[in-house]
Structure 1
């Protein structure tokens, strides 16, 4: 286990590593986005600039969050809150916590006596998972400033090598540059580090209640029963036995060889997922984990670190496992994988070719017509989502694909972009002459708008050539990483290439290609091999798992179901309005009677069409 030396006071003027080298090496490792904020007396850290390898002349801080997620835990110890001596005490206390959990960190100090402890995390973590830990640490460390970590929008931190406001530069404490760089690149910290720290500081996760086994009561079409007795419905269960490695861990607590799981946390989750697949309820799992039962020595012992919060931790893991299964069951039932190309239409080869050809033409139209537009990448995602929707549930009429799809459903196929972005993109496509989308029927009631996927006025010369977009969902990881990098990644999937070749194939400028490739390399999707750029070992699925996108997709689907339910209820109310009787002793005025009928069916359809244009009115008191 790595040990930390106590923090040593730094004398002003003591020579340290070159600040230029510190900045160039560590700033890209710490920054969550390729930007930086420069400090000035007038605007504080209000000036945003692109992150550069050259050391800025002013104090500079890099962002620690991207889309509400961070991969670094920062302890910002400020000497102005107490004294430099208290900073040293708090620093030693925090390092002892990390040392007990087997974690490594990078420590730097400013000329004012403040200190930063930078702890890389094994995966991208949301603020909700860090808030209890930060609050518990702040109660024990008077100099700890947790405000940068509590603000996912503009939270930033100055890094080693950055100039200080008092003069001089931030210097490493007790480490060389090579050692500090190895902490970020070579030695990942434990996957359950945050959980270990919260247990050590006695900080139960936010919103967690100590009682036995709180289970969410969210309705589900896949589960039967409620609470801790809910089980997966019979038709969705697996009939095969639980894998031997999973069962062995549940019974003995021994991890499988060959790196099957990175930590005991992943092994516990694997046990719960396989138990869910095979029709077990939370009550049954708790029963198997009791003393004298098969899973007590292994699975139950894996929760001993949580102490009296063990049942609550198990309930939280159970809810996460259930949410994951609910997120993939629709895909499993459709017999397709989220990255698998669809057959399209009614499942005929002709329908498949029609949708592929249309998507190639539509993408070419988007690249040419909207090349300089900032909406280009959202429009391209919506076009691919329309092709997928038409292949799944549309029809081909006289060789033209036709599909009726709503904005909510389309958003799930378009990397989970917002519904408002989808509706805005559809309006642009409908209103642009020569576009590949033609509105053929306006939706009414529960029926969605119907679109014909027509050939645009700008066509692809070789629509069936290599590198054309597949008729498949846009991977949801791009909702976090950025849709503007997707085309570069798809070009790299065809093989390694130079930057100029990539820019030409992706129809982007060279500067955009350089910026995009740098971002792909930073997140681990691409790597440089001399002058060639190639795909790295990290996949989009790996990033989606780190960022918890499956849980977000489940939340989005639940929100869509609720919105559709409210819409159906409102439509039923409009079709069968209630006539409210007047108050006793008063005459019925115009405001107390709701009309119960319209003149004829045509008037009714016209009325519904007008309502759909603006949505339901606000409910009056």
Structure 2
């Protein structure tokens, strides 16, 4: 994360407000605007808008008598000032203040100075003047990337080249009052006249590298979807206002359905109940109040109320979820079932899987030695498919270590969600992997009804001596850690080679070790370096202390994962309903699909994997 830096206060100071009058603050308008004109606002139906006039009035020193907004873009579409609009219509005021402070720290850390004001409605504006104008596309990319880090940031002024505009300090507000300048007037003049050098824009782009990569990926995915719909290979999907679950939206923004929850207290308890049901701890919740879920903090109203009420309400949430989980189901008294809900951990079938924790760990370590010494090189010959096969066997070994069993009855959808692939791909790869593993992976039972295929993982006799002669490697083995769902299979293998290597590796060493082409390896290294995962020391590459979970969240992996889980649940419900048509037994309560529980928020553990929520 970006370190904190000194910046202008994000809270109105009476001494500052009294110094600059609206007329004085309005004098900054020509230094902010992209063009020397403004628009007057008026009500059009139920919405207050700033329509394009036939002849836009020029900006003068006289303060307009009606709400006025200046154009963000020039006549050529270029931008002189990045205008960041934190809007209370997108989140509660507490979230707006926190977002403005966080973005301000980011800008300051990149060496940027900015001017700040606030509106009577509680919104905030940050104005970042640029010494050299930037194109509309570049400005839009930067503002949209910043919007991914701040829930309340509205990027729309930079998304419309012809009509994008923003109210500046001193302007009247539609509800009465004026945009109030927070930055001292003399300081604001100095900032807007000196402006920020182009080198600071480069630093900002580097700091926002994960968000910029995420936006590019979303744009590419959207273009492919539209193209598929045009040629008829994908049906047109109905437009919805938001695909986000209501509780998650409440936790992010503080906005909730007043028809369902009568007060902020009820909305808070609904969110806390869900956190508790998903296995979060109080410490994890407290950390995320200032991270990805500031809306929950805003629902408390003040930090004092949060400190006083959160521990009490968390105990209530745990009590509620514990009681709910202890309710016995018909015909299931005292027994566990992997079908209790779609996030339950898969239970093995027993038998040969009964072994000690130390024995399981030793077996996995021996299998890792065989994997690196023999199986990896064998799978390299299968090209692109080999990358997926190598990660799949790593995933199975990781699952084997976590469950302390050598018998795996994990469904293809579970593996697909953990690896970021389609379940049909996993179903195709498993038999291929079993055939190429030389006895390491063996299918011992076919799928039946709702149970998955059962596989046995063992150390064949021909590899036992080799496994014991080789030294175990440091660290853990993974399939696809969340961050690599966005960065790709080749990147995951390159990072593993650096992380678990016995010595620091050069690019040539990595090409030889991973069996990945030079171009693909170089691209993977460059991409990981751009998002801060690696650093180059001379000729060798080393990992950094970057938090991979936080980086995954910035790359949008968590949203993609939740969407994958929701899709799996829908498909399972359809398949189970199809199977139940051929059974005479009554539908069990455990097989019902509850749309209200159509998400699972992974607890923010530094070393978490996606296995335990993908079942």
Report the TM-score, using the length of structure 2 for normalisation.
0.48
Higher helix share: 2
TM-score by length of 1: 0.48
Larger relative CO (CA 8 A, sep 6+): 1 or 2? 2
